[in-house]
Amino acid sequence: MVRQEGRAVLTEVESKAFLQGAGIPVAETRLATSRKEALALARELGFPAVVKVVSPQIIHKSDIGGVKVGLTNGAEVGRAYDQVLAAARTASPAATIHGVSIQRMASPGVEVIIGMTKDIQFGPVLMFGLGGVMVEVLKDVAFRIVPLTRRDARQMVREIKGFPILEGYRGQRGVDIPRLEQALLDLSAFLEKHDEVKELDLNPIFAYQDGILAVDARVILEEPAPVAGRG
Q: Binding Mg ion by CB under 5 A: which of 13, 203, 205, 217?
A: 203
CA distance 89 to 96: 9
Contact positions with ligand ADP (CB under 6 A) in 22-41: 27
Q: Give the strand pairing for 67-71 and 141-145.
A: unpaired
Q: Binding ligand ADP by CB under 6 A: which of 2, 17, 45, 69?
A: 69
CB of 60 to ligand ADP, least distance (A): 5
Residues facing residue 202 across a β-bridge: 114, 217
Residues facing residue 115 across a β-bridge: 127, 201
Distances in Å between the Cα of 136 and the Cα atoms of 12, 57, 61, 131 are 20, 22, 16, 8
Distances in Å between the Cα of 20 and the Cα atoms of 14, 164, 214, 217 are 10, 31, 12, 11
Residues facing residue 199 across a β-bridge: 220
Cα angle value 74/75/79 (rounded, 5°): 115
Q: Report the partner that residue 61 touches, choosing among ligand ADP, Mg ion, none (CB closer than 5 to 8 A by kind).
A: ligand ADP
CB of 69 to ligand ADP, least distance (A): 5
**What are the strands, taking DSSP E only, across the chain?**
29-32, 49-54, 67-71, 99-104, 110-119, 123-130, 141-145, 197-207, 212-214, 217-221
CB of 225 to ligand ADP, least distance (A): 29
19 binds ligand ADP (CB under 6 A): no
Closer of 84 and 146 to ligand ADP (Cβ): 84
Residues facing residue 102 across a β-bridge: 30, 51
Closer of 181 and 216 to Mg ion (Cβ): 216
Instruction: Provide the mask over 212-231, with x wherever binding to Mg ion is found by CB under 5 A and - wherever it is not.
Output: ----x---------------
Q: Binding ligand ADP by CB under 6 A: which of 110, 127, 216, 220?
A: 216
Eight-state DSSP code of residue 68: E
Closer of 100 and 180 to ligand ADP (Cβ): 100
Contact positions with ligand ADP (CB under 6 A) in 109-168: none
Q: Report the partner that residue 16 touches, choosing among ligand ADP, Mg ion, none (CB closer than 5 to 8 A by kind).
A: none
CB of 177 to ligand ADP, least distance (A): 21
Closer of 13 and 148 to ligand ADP (Cβ): 13
Chain residues binding ligand ADP by CB under 6 A are 27, 50, 52, 60-62, 67, 69, 103, 105-106, 203-204, 215-216
